[in-house]
Amino acid sequence: MLLGLVLLPFAAAFLMPLLYKIFGTKIGWVATLVPLYIFASFLSLLPRVNAGEQIATTLAWIPLLGVDLAVRLDGLSLLFVLLISGIGLAVMIYSIFYLHHDERLGNFYTFIMLFMGAMFGVCTSTNLVCMYLFWELTSVSSFLLIGFWYEKDNPRLGAQKALLLTMGGGFCILAAILLLQSVAGSLSIDELLAAKDIIQESSLYPVIVVLLLIGAFVKSAQVPLHIWLPTAMEAPTPISCYLHSATMVKAGIYLIARMTPILGGTALWGGIITVVGLTSLTFGSLMAIRQFDMKGILAYSTISQLGLIISLFGFGTEAAIAAGLFHLLNHSAFKGSLFLMTGIVDHQAGTRDVRLLKGLAKVMPITALVACIGSFSMAGLPPFSGFLSKELFLEAASQAHTSNLAFMGDLAYLIPFVAVVASIFTFVYSVALFFKIFIGKQVTTTSPKYPKETNWGMLLPALCLVSLNIIVAIAPQVFVDNLISGAIYTVTQVHYHLHIAFWHGLTPAFIMTCIIILLGLIVYFNYDWVKNLFLSYRSKIGAESAYQTFLHGLPEVAGKFTNWHINGKLNDYMACTIGGALLFILGSMIYFNAWSNIDISDLAPVDLLEISLAFVASTAALGVCLFKRRIWSILALSVVGFCVSFYFVIMRAPDLALTQLMVETISTVLYLLVLYKLPYGMIADNPPMSNGRRTINALLGVLVGFMACTVTLLGQGCKYFDTIAWYYNENALPLAGGNNIVNVTLVDFRGFDTMGEITVLSLAAIGVFVMIKLGREHLYDRHGIQHDHQTATAFNDTGNDTVVIQTDSYFLDENDFPISPL
Amino acid sequence: MNSLTLEQLIMLLPELLLLVLAVIIMLLPERARTMAWLVAAGGLAADLLMCLSLWGVNDYIMGGAYAVNNFAVLVKVMLLGLAMLNVIGSHDFTARVYRAREYYALLLMAMLGLLIIPSSMDFITLVVAFELVSITTYVLPLAELNNPQGGEAALKYFISGAFASALILYGLSLLYGFTGTMNLQNCAQAMAILGAHPLLLVALVLLLAGFGYKMALVPFHWWAADTYTGSPSPTTGFLSGVTQKGAFVVALKIIVVYSAVFAPLAALLLGVLCAVTMTVGNVLALKQKDVKRMIAYSSVAHAGNIGVGFAVGGTAIVGSFVHILAHALMAIACFFALQIVFERKGGTMMQHFRGLGKQMPGLAAALMLLLLSFGGVPPLLGFWGKMLMVVPAVGLGGWYLVLALILVLNSALSLVYYAAVIREMYMRPAEIELLPPAADKVKPSGRSYQLALWLSVALLLAFGLLPNWLTEICSSALFNSMLPW
C-alpha cells in the first residue's frame, strides 16, 4: 500500500506521454488527480501514524548488498510527504493556468511526476542506499525542470550548475553511507540507530559527518554551496515554488533530521550545522536586499530561511528541533505562496524586476492580499504563523549557550545577536517586497504589459497556501499536536510537548522581536541607501568563481593532457607502453629486492670471445636506437642478429646458427626492400626522430636489457626440478637413431610440431606469393569495388601520423607508387 | 594423454558448432549476405542454448586442460548473448560492406576463441584461445574497404597486439620455467609450495601487461581510442563489448592462480593500474568533440572500473561480472546508436547530436538511458556493478577505501561528459538536418541497428531494476566453480 503510493508517481510519469496524446492540453487536470489522491491517502493515514503505528513495506532488492526497497511512514516522513503532495497539488493546478498551451506540457508533467515520486522515496526510505537512489533522482528531475526552457542560455547553464553540484553532494552522501555501512554493518536506519554508540565512537565518525553534511548542505543550498539556487530560478515559477523553496531544498533538512538521532548530539555535529546555518541565515538575508529580480529575492530568502531551520537543528535541544520543524511547515506555506504570487505578477505584468513595478495593489487586489500575508508572515509579524515560529527561533537562540553548543563557551552568546541582525534584514526585504511593488499612488507604467488581475485558477492555489499562514496562527496547537509532534518524536526520540501561544509574557524573544521591528523600520525607511551600499560591494563571491574556474579549467587541463598523451604516433605509443610495463616490473623488482635472490654460483665461466661478442651486440643494439638514418638502424639490427648466431656457433649448435643467419639475412633484405619501395616523399615527410626522442628509446632499450638480464640470472638461480636432458641423452640413439639431440628432437620426438611449423611457414609463403603476384592494383579491383581516392586523414587528437600508418593508406591506393631514393 | 570419449565430445559441441558454422559461412555464395547473417545469428542462438544445457555439469576433459563448469557456462552464455546482439544489429551494416561473409566468419571464429577461454585450465590452451580471438579481430576493423581509418585502426591494433603477445609468452615462459607446469591448478599449487619469488612477480607483471592490452588498461591503452574510433561502429561494439571482456576472464584466471602467494601484492598492482586507468580514461574523454571517441575513452575508464572488483576480491568480483555485462550491453547498444546517428546525420561529432531529442526521440531516449547507465546513475545496471564493487572495498578499509573513493569520484567526473551529450541532444536546437532513411538495397533503413539497440536497452533496464537474479547467478557460479577451483 505504502510502496504503491510512493511508486504511483513513477507509473504516472511513464503514462504521461501517452496521456498527453489522449488529452492534449487538458493533461494538467488529469495529472492533478495523482497528487490529490496521494495527499488524501496520506492524510487518511495520519491518525494511524499519530497513534504510534509505523506503516512499512519492505521488498528485498539486492540481498547481496543488503539493499532493500524499504519504505516506512513515521511522523517525520508523514510531515514531509504531506507537504510534498499538498504543495504539489497546489502547484500543479497553478501550472495548468501558468503554462501556455503550446509548451511541452507532456514533458513538464512527466518530469514533475518523476520528481514527486523521487521525493516520496527520499522521505520514506528506511534503507540508506534506497534513499540515495531517490535522492539522485530528485537531482536529475530538478535538472530537467530547471532546463525546461532550454532554448535560452541561462536555464541551460543553471540546470547544469544545479546538476553538477547536487550530484557532487549526492556522491558525498553515498560515500558517507558506505562508511556508515562499514562501521555499523548495516544500511537500515533502524539498525544504525541501534548502533549509534559504535558509530559515534568510530574513528571514521568525523569523516561520515562531514561528508553527509556536505551532501545535505548542497541540497539545501547552504553557504558556500548555495550558488546553484539563484541560477536555478530560471525554471518556470511553479517549479521554483515547488522544488526550490517548498520541497526539494528541504530534502537536506530531512536528511539532517533523519540522521540526528544517529549522528547528532555531538559538538562536531552541532557546531558545523549551527555555524553553516547561521552563516546562511545572515548571508541570505543580506544578499536578498541586493536583488532586483523578485525571484532572486525569494531565492536568497530561501537560503536564509533554510539556514534558520538548519541552525535550529544545530542547537539540538528538543525545543529548538520542535521550532525548526514548525518553521519548516510555516516556511513552505509563506514561501510557496510568495512564489506563486511572483509567478502571477510575472505573468500579468511581463516582468519581475522590482524597479519596474509599483502600485500593483490597485489593479491586482487579491494578489496583493497574498503578497501582504505572505511577506508579513515571512517578516515574522503577528498575527501570522511566521511570527510564532520566529519567536520560537529567537527563544532557542537566546538559550543556545545552554544547548548542544555549550562547548562554544562565551561564543554561544553571539548567536542571539546574529539571529537579531539577520532577522532585521529579513524583516526589511520582506516588507519591501510587499510595499515597493504593491503600494504606491500610481500603477506602474514601466512594465512590458499593463497589469491586471489574473484568473482564479492561479489565484486559488496561492490563496490556499497563504491562508495556511492564518489558519496555523489561529489554531497552532492543532497542527502541532497532529502533524509536528510525531516528527519531533522521530527526531528527538522523546515525547516533547511543544506549546505555542502568541503571548508568553515579556520573554527575551519578545524583546528581540521588538528590537527587530524597530531597527527594521529604521533600515526600511533608508532602504535605497542601504541597497546602494550593499550593491557597491563586489558581487562575485568565492564559491561562484571557484565553480567557474572548475567548469572552464577542467576541460582545458583535460584538453592539454589529451593532446600531449594521445598524439597518434604509434612509436610513441609503443615507447610509452614499454615504459609502463618497465615501471611495473622494475618497481616490483625493487620492492622485492630481486637482486638479492640472484645466484651465480652455478654459471659456466665466461671467456673473452663471449664478452667481446656481447660488447659488439650491445653497441649495435644501442646504434639501432641512436642512428639518425633508418638504413643504418636496420644494418645495426642485423649486426645484433649475427652476433646472436655467433653465440650459437660458440655453443656448438651449428644448425641453429645456420637458421639464425638465414632469418637475419632475409629479414634485413626485406627491411631494405620496404625502405626502397616506400613511395617518394614519404621519407622526406617523415624526418628522423629528434635527438631527445632517440635518446629516450636508447634508455628504454638499456632498461629492458637490464630487466631481461636480471630475469635471466634469476631464472638461473631457481632450479626446482631436475632437467629433462638425461632423457634425451639416454634415448636419442636407441629410440630415434641419432646422436644430435637437437635434430632428433626436431624430426622425431617433436615431429608433429615441426610439421605444424612447416605448414604455417608454407602458408605464410603462399600468402606472400599471392600478394606479390596479384599486385596492388588488382588486389581489390577484381571484385569491381571502386573505392574513392580518399587520402588518409588522421583522426586522432592532434592529427599526427606515422610512417607505418601512411604506408598503409598507400597500400590501399590503386596508383603504382614512384620509387623513392633512399 | 587421455583420449576423448563421445560423451566428452558432447561437451565440446558448442565450440565445434561455431567452427562448422564459420566454414559454412565462408562457403556461402558471395551475395548471400542475409543468409550469412541468418546462419551467424541462428548459430549463436543455438550455441547459447547448447551452453545453457551444460549448466550444472562439472567435469574436466582433455587431460584436465578443459573444464566445463558453471563458471565457464556463465561466461560463455554471457559472451554468446552479447555477440548475438552484435550480430543481430550488424545486418544492415554488412548489407553494404563487401566482406559480409568474412565479417561473420571471423566473428564466429573469435567467438570460438572466447568460448575456449573460460574453460581452459591450461596456459597453452588459454593463450591459443586468446590469440585466436586477437588474430581474427585484427581484421574486423577492415570490414569497410573504402574507409582508410579502418586501416589505421586495424594496423595499430595489430602491432600493439603482437607486442602484447610477446610479453605474454615471455611471462609464460618464466612461469613455466619456475613451476614446471602449464596447468593452472598445478601452477597455483607449485607456487604455494615453492613460495614467493621475484621471478613469479615479473611473470605476473608481464602477463598483466600483455593481457592488459586487450583490456585497455592504462598504460597499455594507447591503441584503444584510435582503433575504436577508426573501426566501423558495429565492429567497435564487438571489440569493446565482447572481445575485451574475454580478456577480463583471462585476467581473473591469472589472478586466481596467483592468489595463493601474491594475493595482496597482485591486488595492489591491479588496484594501481585500475585507479590510473579510470582517471586517465575519464580525463581523456572529457574534452572529446567526437562522441565515438569519447565513448572509446570511456571504455578505457570502464576497464579500470571492472578491474577494481578483481583487485578487491570476494563479493566485489561479482560486481566486476555485473559490470562486465553492464558495460558490454551499454557499449554494444551505444555503438549501434552511434552508427544510426552516423548514417542519418553524417557524423558523430557533438554538433550532430544537437536537437536529436526532437529529431529522433526514440533513439535519443535510448541513448540518454545508456549514457546515464555509463555514468552509473541509479537504478540502471551501470550503477549496481559499481555499487557491488564499492561496498566490499569500503568494508575492507585501508587502501581499498582509497580505491573505492577514486571509483566514486571518477563516476562523478564521467557524468560531466555524458551529461554534455545529453545536453546537446535535449537542450540545443538541431543544426543539421536529418538525412532521409534510404531504404534501398545498398543503404538499408537501419532497422537491425534499432532492434539490437532496443534489445540491449531492454536487457539493461530489466537487469537494472531486478539485479538480484543476476547477482545470485554470478555469485553462485563464481564461488562454487571458479574461485576454489
Question: CB–CB of A65 and B160 under 8 A?
Answer: no
Vertex A187, ends A185 and A190: CA angle to 5°?
100
- Among B119, B10, B108, B111, which Cα is nearest to B66's? B119
CB B203 within 8 A of CB B175: yes
Q: What is the DSSP letter of A58?
A: E
Q: What is the pLDDT of residue A612?
A: 94
> Which B-chain residues 19-38 have CB contacts (< 8 A) with chain A?
none
Per-range mean pLDDT, top range of A58-62, A230-234, B128-132, B439-443? B128-132
CB A381 within 8 A of CB A471: no
CA A737 to chain B, closest CA, distance in angstroms equals 25
Q: What is the pLDDT of residue B439?
A: 53
Whether A168 contacts chain B with CB within 8 A: yes
Whether B430 contacts chain A with CB within 8 A: no
* Residues paired with residue B67 on neighbouring β-strands, in sequence order: B60
Contacts of A159 in chain B (CB under 8 A): 427
Joined grid coordinates for residue A31: 495529472
Residues B317-340: tens digit of each pLDDT: 999 999 999 999 999 999 999 998
Q: What is the pLDDT of residue B298?
A: 93
Tell me how far apart the alpha carbons of residues A700 and A692 are, in angstroms, rounded to a whole number.
Answer: 12
User: Which of A178, A599, A724, A813 would you mutate first to test chain B, the one with the most B CBs within 10 A?
Assistant: A178
Nearest by CB to residue A804, choosing from B155, B167, B204, is B155
Contacts of B467 in chain A (CB under 8 A): 61-62
Joined grid coordinates for residue B342: 552516423
* Residues paired with residue A188 on neighbouring β-strands, in sequence order: A127
CA B387 to chain A, closest CA, distance in angstroms equals 8
Question: CB–CB of B201 and A140 under 8 A?
Answer: no
> Which B-chain residues 328-357 have CB contacts (< 8 A) with chain A?
none
Joined grid coordinates for residue A668: 634485413
Can you list the alpha helix ranges (DSSP code H) found in B140-240?
Answer: 148-179, 184-194, 198-215, 222-230, 233-238
Q: What is the pLDDT of residue B456?
A: 93
Question: CB–CB of B404 and A62 under 8 A?
Answer: no
User: Which of A65, A551, A804 would you mutate first to test chain B, the one with the most B CBs within 10 A?
Assistant: A65
CA A395 to chain B, closest CA, distance in angstroms equals 42
CB B286 within 8 A of CB A551: no
CA B237 to chain A, closest CA, distance in angstroms equals 19
Whether A60 contacts chain B with CB within 8 A: yes
CA B46 to chain A, closest CA, distance in angstroms equals 31
Residue % of chain B over a pLDDT of 90 = 35
How many CA atoms does the CB half-sphere of A190 hold within 13 Å?
A: 9
Contacts of B151 in chain A (CB under 8 A): 792, 805, 808-809, 811-812
Contacts of B471 in chain A (CB under 8 A): 62, 64
User: Which of A7, A14, A204, A585 would you mutate first to test chain B, the one with the most B CBs within 10 A?
Assistant: A585
User: Which of B274, B312, B387 would you mutate first to test chain A, the one with the most A CBs within 10 A?
Assistant: B387
Question: Going by C-beta distance under 8 Å and a sequence separation of 6 or more, which residues neighbour residue A287?
Answer: A300, A303
Vertex A683, ends A780 and A802: CA angle to 5°?
65
Question: CB–CB of B156 and A573 under 8 A?
Answer: yes
Question: CB–CB of A181 and B201 under 8 A?
Answer: no
- Which pairs from A503-508 meet CB under 8 Å and 24+ separation? A504/A391, A507/A395, A508/A394, A508/A395, A508/A398, A508/A416
Question: CB–CB of B163 and A574 under 8 A?
Answer: yes
Nearest by CB to residue B318, choosing from A64, A589, A794, is A64
Taking residues B14-39, report their average pLDDT.
90
Tell me how far apart the alpha carbons of residues B354 and B359 are, in angstroms, rounded to a whole number.
Answer: 9
Joined grid coordinates for residue A290: 541586493
Residue of chain A whose Cα is closest to the Cα of B190? A720
Nearest by CB to residue B388, choosing from A64, A566, A812, is A64
Instruction: State the CB neighbour count (10 A cutoff) for residue B55.
Output: 14
CB A195 within 8 A of CB A204: no
Query: In sequence order, what DSSP letters do the residues of B335-351 get, joined into one string?
Result: HHHHHHHHHHHS--BHH
Whether A564 contacts chain B with CB within 8 A: no
ipTM: 0.86
- Higher-pLDDT residue of A506, B14: B14
Confidence grade of residue B275 (pLDDT, cut at 50, 70, 90):
very high
Tell me how far apart the alpha carbons of residues B160 and A573 are, in angstroms, rounded to a whole number.
Answer: 9
CB A298 within 8 A of CB A289: no
Tell me how far apart the alpha carbons of residues A686 and B21 are, in angstroms, rounded to a whole number.
Answer: 45
Q: What is the DSSP letter of A101?
A: T
Taking residues B35-43, report their average pLDDT.
92
CB A822 within 8 A of CB A678: no
Whether A146 contacts chain B with CB within 8 A: no
> Which B-chain residues 157-196 have CB contacts (< 8 A) with chain A?
159-160, 163, 167, 174, 177-178, 180, 194, 196
Contacts of B98 in chain A (CB under 8 A): 783, 785
Question: CB–CB of A715 and B284 under 8 A?
Answer: no
Question: CB–CB of B284 and A558 under 8 A?
Answer: yes
- Among A484, A647, A675, A581, which Cα is nearest to A76's? A484
Residues B304-315: tens digit of each pLDDT: 999 999 998 888
Nearest by CB to residue A182, choosing from B377, B394, B409, is B394
Question: CB–CB of A574 and B160 under 8 A?
Answer: yes
Contacts of B326 in chain A (CB under 8 A): none
Whether B201 contacts chain A with CB within 8 A: yes
Tell me how far apart the alpha carbons of residues A489 and A468 are, in angstroms, rounded to a whole number.
Answer: 23
Tell me how far apart the alpha carbons of residues A187 and B240 are, in angstroms, rounded to a whole number.
Answer: 35
Q: What is the pLDDT of residue B3?
A: 64
**Domain ranges, ordered by start, for chain A:** 270-525, 571-720
Question: CB–CB of B428 and A721 under 8 A?
Answer: no
Nearest by CB to residue B391, choosing from A178, A554, A805, is A178
Nearest by CB to residue B148, choosing from A160, A568, A790, is A790
Tell me how far apart the alpha carbons of residues B236 and B240 are, in angstroms, rounded to a whole number.
Answer: 6
Q: What is the pLDDT of residue A782?
A: 37
Query: pTM value?
Result: 0.82
Whether A590 contacts chain B with CB within 8 A: no
Q: What is the pLDDT of residue A812?
A: 43
CB B101 within 8 A of CB B25: yes
Whether A182 contacts chain B with CB within 8 A: yes
Contacts of A592 in chain B (CB under 8 A): 196, 198, 201
The size of the A-B interface in CB pairs under 8 A is 217
Question: CB–CB of A562 and B283 under 8 A?
Answer: yes
- Strand, coil or helix: A69: strand
Regions of chain A short of the pLDDT cut 70: 403-406, 538-541, 677-686, 771-822
The answer to whether residue B117 scores a pLDDT higher than 90 is yes
User: Which of A562, A569, A716 would you mutate first to test chain B, the one with the most B CBs within 10 A?
Assistant: A562
Q: What is the pLDDT of residue A532?
A: 81
Question: CB–CB of B287 and A558 under 8 A?
Answer: yes
Q: What is the pLDDT of residue B150?
A: 82
Whether B124 contacts chain A with CB within 8 A: no
Whether A589 contacts chain B with CB within 8 A: yes
